[in-house]
Chain A
Amino acid sequence: MTTSLDATVATRAEPSTVEEAPYEGGRGIALAWLVVRRVLSALLVLWIAVSLTFLAIQLAPGDTVSLLLGENRDDPELRAATIERWGLDQPVWVQYFTYLARIPKGDLGVSYTMRQNVSDLLAEGAGPTITLALTATVVALIIAVLATLINTAPVKGLRAVTSGIQLVILSLPPFWLAILLLTVVSFRWGWFSIIETDSWQALVLPTLALAIPSGFFLTQVLSDGVFRAIEQPFAVSARARGLSPAAVRYRHAVKHAALPVVNLVGLQIGGLLGGAVIVEQIFGRPGLGQLAVNAVIVKDVPLILGVTLVSTAAYVAASTTVDLVAIAIDPRLRTARGGPK
């Protein structure tokens, strides 16, 4: 521990040798290396995730075939097919490699309750869920920016009021919010019918149900970032140059506040998939969430494995993208010696 601590201390050192040398050529390579490393670590996470799911199947009580077959465990034909497909008569490590080899091919097994390939089911469900998650992300960001503009407006006493409102909104259970939206907006006012699941109208309420909690969560982080940034010495310097408070806020502070938000958007995309489980249930939309709920209720193990892997992949993809965006925003992350944080 001391070593690493001291190394950073020492890094600050040697101004003439380390800091001032503009190594123009080296930077491009260093940046490329940074990106490659990030992508490799994403793949590593995926590999561990796949292995963990395998471990879960192995460690689950009872025999694996019955576990995979669920309600169909007494069907001898399916039993034989499953044993073959998963290599269950082989030693464990062979099973592991069989499993590992199948996944990149998109072969995630068969859902015996739905009597369909898991990958087909997922492909069917992914479309609506991705649409929902993406629109919700966009709406959440819009909410966050607008609410932050209101939050950070220089009006006395405003912050106490807005933060109180935000706390309540954030504390609403998301499924209750969804029920309220459905009851009030759709049933009472007759807007945005959810009957035709393909229409844009049916997308509005589920999107709001997902985007409101997530948007206000981002608002908190963004506003906090702005408030923190305008207290930094560089903001004082900017003011001392004659910049207006608004210019300091929007030219300097917002960029600083955006950094954690960019990171969080990545996390939120993963969270939105979790949220989709409930929203899809309440609004009766098809999608990965519905699949997941059904799979859990009937103990359809291959299907829940598939959903889990897909959502992990989505999360990893999102967080990798987000890290790369962060590198684009923050020059300090670009130089490899920017330190651990």
Chain B
Amino acid sequence: MTTVLGALAAPSDAAPTSPVLQVRGLHVEFASRERYVHAVRGIDLSIHRGEAVALVGESGSGKSVTALSLLGLAAKTARITADEFRLAGRDLSGLPDRGWRQIRGSQVGLVLQDALTSLDPLRTVGQEVAEALRAHSGKKSKGTGAQVEALLAEVGFPDPAVRANQYAHQLSGGLRQRALIATALAGNPLLLVADEPTTALDVTVQAQILDLLGRRRDTGTALLLISHDLAVVSQVADRVLVMREGEVVEEGTAAQLLGDPKHPYTKALLRAVPSAATRGQRLSGGETERPGDTLEREATSERRPSADGLTPVLRAVAVSKTFKLSGHRQLRAVVDVDVTVAPGAKVGIVGESGSGKSTLARMLLGLIEPDQGQVEIMGRPWRAADRRERGRLRRAVQFVSQDAASSFDPRYTVEQIVEEPLRSSALSRAERAERVLQALALTHLEPSLLKVVPRNLSGGQRQRVAIARALAMEPEVLVCDEPVSALDVSIQAQILDLLAELNERTGTAIVFISHDIGVVHHLVDDVLVMHRGRIVEQGPVERVFNQPSHPYTQTLLRAVPRLAR
């Protein structure tokens, strides 16, 4: 197995100064019946042995297309041109697919984002790795079994002999990703292309995977990292290329880019990243004065007296929830949790996937009844309320989910979506129409969007509509479950600014649930850290994140990738 680890193929050794990958003027165009898209517009890219280069950009920047082009795997409608395209000194232009097949796996390896779907679910990880090993040895070699285990051990599989017989769905996210990396390393490639390799992972696991990739780079493999997250790539990348709309707008070492960005886009991108340092600041640039300011203030002044400022608007007292799984097993999703949300407060709940935070959110919303404990809304126990009162209490707690698109009835227009919660109220038609306009104004959406259906909105607009709908009820609390995790960083910045602004203006309390420490640190005042269904630590965000006392919180915070300025 030392061969896999150490030695590199001859060509790059012969000319140590020439890069493993040398691409100049790469263009990728897509032409289909409906649209023409010039996805990549003349980028230059060179990667040397043992160098890690990162391509960073938001969705639609062309970074993934670039990655696939390097393996000749861009879609069939793609037209790819380049002034120069060399791998290990060899000119790859005009290469037929047969030629690409020789290169894929053996010279360039690819790691995709979601290992659950990127590994064949009907085959064991051992079979997948073996397939990758065999792809270039030509024949079925006898020693494959041992090679598979060695390779799995190399990427950090505990007990590889047993694990090789497991299927992807039986492994944890981290192990799955390791298995996928093993398949990409099987051919001992000169260049490893990793497209968002850690995006689907929890931060503690993400740190391990980045470490694995970094060590691989140290043994001489050239590494191309594709990511939307500057902080992630700054951990390993020697050089970073910032992409926007198919072009590289800025290039430099990670330290240069992070410390002294030149291009306005890079600056905006960096400014948009929420963290401890950005508390109380706006993340998105521009617009200060907005339509609807006055409209809204009137509404606020009418509303405030309803809360006395003392009773918590939302409180969970020792709530627990256990789910029965098949096979007589159960999952204790939430165990003995207390949450108190004061009027106008911003409370964050942080946890990794499976920590029970979404279940907790659903209990706060009254969508799930807790097995034990109770949820109180404005001091009123949920359980004790009769049907009519429940309706009233429900309206006081509103929900913003991660996936706004799926929270809209596909038949509805923006107007109908925002109006829907009001339809069961006593408001007249005209009053409802006015409320809808107010809510849109609050979320900085143009009234011209009223008749638009959600599929024609951008991701950021959709999330705004979702927030507008929640606000139309004039709730006391907004429960936001991962509201920005599906969004690009610049859009995320706008939504975070919006939430902070709404909290300030309308006094609506916010419960903000997220896996992202930086986002939480930026936005909230008090934070609860959840781990395996329990709250392990809570308190003011500065205290909890600056002097964590619980070991889990400490691990979590250590794992967070930081912009190393």
Cβ-based interface call for B368 (8 A): yes
Of all chain A residues, the one with the shortest Cβ separation from B101 is A242
With an 8 Å Cβ cutoff, the count of chain A residues facing the other chain is 44
- For chain A, residues 232 to 274, give those with C-beta under 8 angstroms from any C-beta of chain B: 232-234, 236-245, 251-252, 255-256
Chain B residues contacting A12 (CB-CB under 8 Å) are: 353-354
Of all chain A residues, the one with the shortest Cβ separation from B132 is A241
Cβ-based interface call for B136 (8 A): yes
Task: Compute how far the CA of A210 lies from the CA of B560 in the bound complex, rounded to whole angstroms.
Answer: 63
- Known contacts A236-B118, A242-B104, A251-B131; is A337 also within 8 Å of B325 by CB? yes
Task: Compute how far the CA of A7 lies from the CA of B322 in the bound complex, rounded to whole angstroms.
Answer: 9
Tell whether, in the assembled complex, residue A20 and residue B175 are in contact, meaning their CB atoms are under 8 Å apart: yes
- Known contacts A13-B354, A15-B354, A30-B327; is A238 also within 8 Å of B131 by CB? yes
Cβ-based interface call for A171 (8 A): no
Chain B positions 106 through 140: 1 when the CB is less than 8 Å from some CB of chain A, otherwise 0: 10111011100111111110000001100110000
Cβ-based interface call for B61 (8 A): no
Task: Compute how far the CA of A18 lies from the CA of B354 in the bound complex, rounded to whole angstroms.
Answer: 11
Chain B residues contacting A245 (CB-CB under 8 Å) are: 97
Task: Compute how far the CA of A242 lies from the CA of B106 in the bound complex, rounded to whole angstroms.
Answer: 8
| Minimal beta-carbon separation of B123 from chain A (angstroms) | 8
Cβ-based interface call for A10 (8 A): yes
Selected contact of B119 from candidates A3, A30, A234, A242, CB within 8 Å: A234
Task: Compute how far the CA of A135 lies from the CA of B131 in the bound complex, rounded to whole angstroms.
Answer: 36
Chain B positions 502 through 537: 1 when the CB is less than 8 Å from some CB of chain A, otherwise 0: 000000000000000000000000000000100000
Tell whether, in the assembled complex, residue A237 and residue B135 are in contact, meaning their CB atoms are under 8 Å apart: no
Cβ-based interface call for A124 (8 A): no
Task: Compute how far the CA of A13 lies from the CA of B173 in the bound complex, rounded to whole angstroms.
Answer: 10
Stretch with Cβ within 8 A of B (4 or more), from A41-49, A292-300, A328-336: A328-336
With an 8 Å Cβ cutoff, the count of chain B residues facing the other chain is 61
Selected contact of A233 from candidates B71, B118, B123, B172, CB within 8 Å: B118
Task: Compute how far the CA of A332 lies from the CA of B184 in the bound complex, rounded to whole angstroms.
Answer: 24
Selected contact of B359 from candidates A10, A236, A237, CB within 8 Å: A10
Selected contact of B331 from candidates A18, A252, A256, A330, CB within 8 Å: A18
Chain A residues contacting B184 (CB-CB under 8 Å) are: 237, 240-241
Selected contact of B183 from candidates A9, A237, A330, A331, CB within 8 Å: A237
Task: Compute how far the CA of A96 lies from the CA of B183 in the bound complex, rounded to whole angstroms.
Answer: 62
Task: Compute how far the CA of A310 lies from the CA of B186 in the bound complex, rounded to whole angstroms.
Answer: 55
Chain A residues contacting B183 (CB-CB under 8 Å) are: 237, 241
Task: Compute how far the CA of A240 lies from the CA of B124 in the bound complex, rounded to whole angstroms.
Answer: 18
- Known contacts A13-B356, A236-B112, A240-B73; is A7 also within 8 Å of B172 by CB? no
| Minimal beta-carbon separation of B104 from chain A (angstroms) | 4
Cβ-based interface call for B180 (8 A): yes
Chain A positions 1 through 23: 1 when the CB is less than 8 Å from some CB of chain B, otherwise 0: 01100110111111111111010
Task: Compute how far the CA of A299 lies from the CA of B187 in the bound complex, rounded to whole angstroms.
Answer: 71
Tell whether, in the assembled complex, residue A337 and residue B326 are in contact, meaning their CB atoms are under 8 Å apart: yes
Selected contact of B121 from candidates A16, A236, A332, CB within 8 Å: A332
Of all chain B residues, the one with the shortest Cβ separation from A235 is B120
Tell whether, in the assembled complex, residue A236 and residue B73 are in contact, meaning their CB atoms are under 8 Å apart: yes
Tell whether, in the assembled complex, residue A19 and residue B172 are in contact, meaning their CB atoms are under 8 Å apart: yes
Selected contact of A242 from candidates B102, B171, B175, B362, CB within 8 Å: B102
Tell whether, in the assembled complex, residue A233 and residue B368 are in contact, meaning their CB atoms are under 8 Å apart: no
Q: Which residues of A contact B (CB under 8 A)?
A: 2-3, 6-7, 9-20, 22, 26, 30, 232-234, 236-245, 251-252, 255-256, 329-332, 335-338
| 27 residue pairs from A and B, CB less than 8 Å apart | A2-B368, A3-B323, A6-B362, A9-B359, A10-B358, A10-B359, A11-B325, A14-B331, A15-B174, A20-B172, A232-B117, A233-B117, A234-B118, A236-B110, A236-B112, A236-B118, A237-B184, A238-B131, A241-B104, A241-B105, A241-B135, A242-B104, A242-B135, A243-B135, A335-B169, A335-B170, A336-B327
Q: Apart from A234-B118, A337-B325, what 10 extra A-B contacts exist at CB < 8 Å?
A: A6-B368, A10-B323, A16-B172, A18-B329, A233-B117, A239-B71, A240-B73, A242-B136, A252-B120, A331-B122
Q: Which residues of B contact A (CB under 8 A)?
A: 68, 71, 73, 97, 101-106, 108-110, 112-114, 117-124, 131-132, 135-136, 162, 166-167, 169-175, 180, 183-184, 186-187, 323-327, 329, 331, 333, 353-356, 358-359, 362, 367-368, 532
